[in-house]
Amino acid sequence: MGNSTHLTHFILSAYFDTGHLKYLYFVIVLLLYVLMLVSNVLLIVVICVNRSLHEPMYLFLCSLFVNELYGSTGMFPSLLIHILTDIHTVSTPLCFLQIYCIYSYVIIEYLTLAVIFLYVSVMISVTLSLHLCGNIINKVYCDNYSAVKLACSDTTAVNIYSLSFGFIIISVPSFLILYLYMRILKVCFSGSKQTRHKAVSTCTPHLASLINFSFGCCFEVITSRFNMNHVPNILRVFLSLYFPVCQPLFNPLTYGLNISNIRICCRKLLFAQM
């Protein structure tokens, strides 16, 4: 049995001929990417330059925004290139590098850095050991399970590993966070009206971010592992983009608009010269 290294490239077959509309799609995607970059970089700068925000909560948010930049950069530059070109191929090393970036970005949202890279490295190593009999990935970006589905060899081990660890990595932190929030809110709602208002305004953005990201991950798993041939191709493409787009746009807007200290510092930074 050989392995996948004899493949020189993969074909991303989810792209479709849009004619002159490709320039419109390019502009839309480019604007989304620029918005992600500007909003995340702005909040990172605001937190870094303001000593009043050098507290654990804001430093945690800063690391979250850095991760959003990492995840979106692993996805959008190649997406922009493929929108403008008629040959939608990606070399094997770059394809697996993109898989690594996207999956490590996802897991960074849930776990500490030490556990993350162990999981992703093992997952990609197992996939690379498979004997692949095709090179057509029915997506607009490289996805690990799409590569696994091209295998001629037995994929039971990699499927069990991916599903079990993926479930643990996503579900355990999510249930723990939800449990802690229930405990926190229970204590807060037994206090004064001011305490309840502060608790809700502080917890709501983080809880909304967790739910949004968890929904995006679950949606991605469902669309990857189940037959979606009955769904129009253009709709499948746009739905698949919800996963890499949701957090890089959602988090800066949510935290930037809901946390008053960040709003105030943003105004000072943006309008200091006016």
159 burial type by CB count under 10 A (0-12 exposed, 13-18 middle, 19+ buried) = middle
Produce one character per residue of 136-151: b if its CB has 16 or more CB atoms within 10 Å, e if not. ebbbbbbbbbbbbbbb
Digit-coded pLDDT (tens) for 37-83: 988 898 888 888 888 777 767 777 788 888 889 888 888 898 888 88
Q: Is the pTM here over 0.85, yes or no? A: no
Token pair in block for residue 71: 């995840």
Domain holding 23: CATH number? 1.20.1070.10
Q: Which residue has the tokens 């009999």?
A: 133
What pLDDT, on the 0 to 100 scale, is given for residue 31?
Answer: 92
Instruction: Provide the angle, in degrees to the nearest 10, between the axes of the packed helices 113-128 and 156-188.
Output: 160
Token pair in block for residue 247: 């957090």
Q: Per-residue confidence at 30, pLDDT binned at 50, 70, 90?
A: very high
Q: Per-residue confidence at 118, pLDDT binned at 50, 70, 90?
A: low
Q: What are phi and psi for residue 115, nearest 5 degrees?
A: -75, -35
Produce one character per residue of 89-117: b if its CB has 16 or more CB atoms within 10 Å, e if not. ebebeebbbbbbbbbbbbbbbbbeeeebe
Domain that holds residue 56: 4-270
- Rounded average pLDDT over 127-133: 82
β-pairing, 136-137 vs 9-12, is parallel
What's the CA gap between 220 and 214, in Å, rounded?
Answer: 10
Decide if pLDDT at 1 tops 50.
no
What pLDDT, on the 0 to 100 scale, is given for residue 273?
Answer: 53
Q: Which residue has the tokens 């001629």?
A: 152
Structural domain count of the chain: 1
**Closest of 166, 252, 251 to residue 211, by C-alpha:** 251
Q: Which residue has the tokens 């669309």?
A: 223
- Distances from the Cα of 248 to the Cα of 37, 76, 209, 261, angstroms: 8, 11, 10, 21
Digit-coded pLDDT (tens) for 187-234: 777 767 777 777 677 677 777 777 777 777 777 777 777 777 777 777
256 burial type by CB count under 10 A (0-12 exposed, 13-18 middle, 19+ buried) = buried
What pLDDT, on the 0 to 100 scale, is given for residue 246?
Answer: 77
What's the CA gap between 143 and 216, in Å, rounded?
Answer: 15
